[in-house]
Amino acid sequence: MPSPSAAPRALNAAPGVEVRRSPLADLCADCDAVTLLPPLSPPGEGYLRHFCQLDSPLAVFDLDDTLLDGDCTGMWMRWMAACGWIEDVEVFMAVGERHQSEYHAGTLDIHEHTGHLLSPLIGRHRDEVRREVDDFVEEMVMPRLLEGGIARLAEHGEAGHRTLIISASMHHLVGPIASRLTADGALATHPAFDDQGRFTGETTGIVTFREGKLAALDAWLEDASQLKRAPQALWGYSDSHNDLPLLERVDHPHATQPDAPLRQFAEARGWPVVDWRQSHLSIESD
């Protein structure tokens, strides 16, 4: 419990919303902020209940074609080619295009795919690659973010929700992107390194593809539960039918710029379908 002399914590609110301090705000040592948003208020009350970090809702976002207008893996492949890291660019890119087609068809061998993506990095030090990734994120990724998706990500944060970006792309890309977007974390496939910090070309841990995304999320939730920080509700956003296991797991699934199979499934289930390439609908409208 904070001391009586502790400085009051910041309060965040949507524009035009009157902020009133919750009586719990000064008593909760684990809460960074209180957010007051009428759309989430209990019926008949003028302000949101206290949202504590201990059990605040969690919003999970896919990255490629959900927050990003495009595929960061394909963009990174072209970046690696420009770096001179690929010997036969034509063959390498052709394999990548085949993998992309197989992904959309639901037939991708994810282990073949990750091995292909990591092959140009074998023997390269993680610091060298990270420098290129940082430039890549600023020059290639940030200009192609979908405004509606980023607004929704921010809206969840302002509502006191935790946010995760979960992606089938590699963690050495997704982690820096999530950090740049100020998400609370990233779940993605981790590359393996040798004892000198160099890429081995292998992966380690959960491969976050299809059911692997659900496994990674469940592992995260288990850790949160052990720390008594399990979220009270789960939101999920994705464009792909490959993420149906994940979307069926959450309490509030959303199909964003969905492919045809996901759109059909979402409409049959009555899930919200949004197109962030066209517009932004706030969580108030859900």
Q: How many CB atoms lie within 10 A of CB 2?
A: 12
Please check whether residue 93 is in contact with residue 81, taking contact to mean a CB–CB distance below 8 angstroms: yes
Cα separation values, 20 from 12, 33, 34, 40, Å: 10, 12, 9, 15
Q: How far is CA 172 from the centre of its chain?
A: 14
Rounded to 5°, the CA angle 239-245-249 comes to 100
β-sheet bridge partners, residue 235:
59, 252
Return the active site residues.
Answer: 62, 64
Alpha carbons 107 and 91: distance in angstroms, whole number: 20
Q: What are phi and psi of 285, to 5 degrees?
A: -85, -10
Cα separation values, 285 from 53, 54, 64, 171, 228, Å: 24, 26, 24, 33, 31
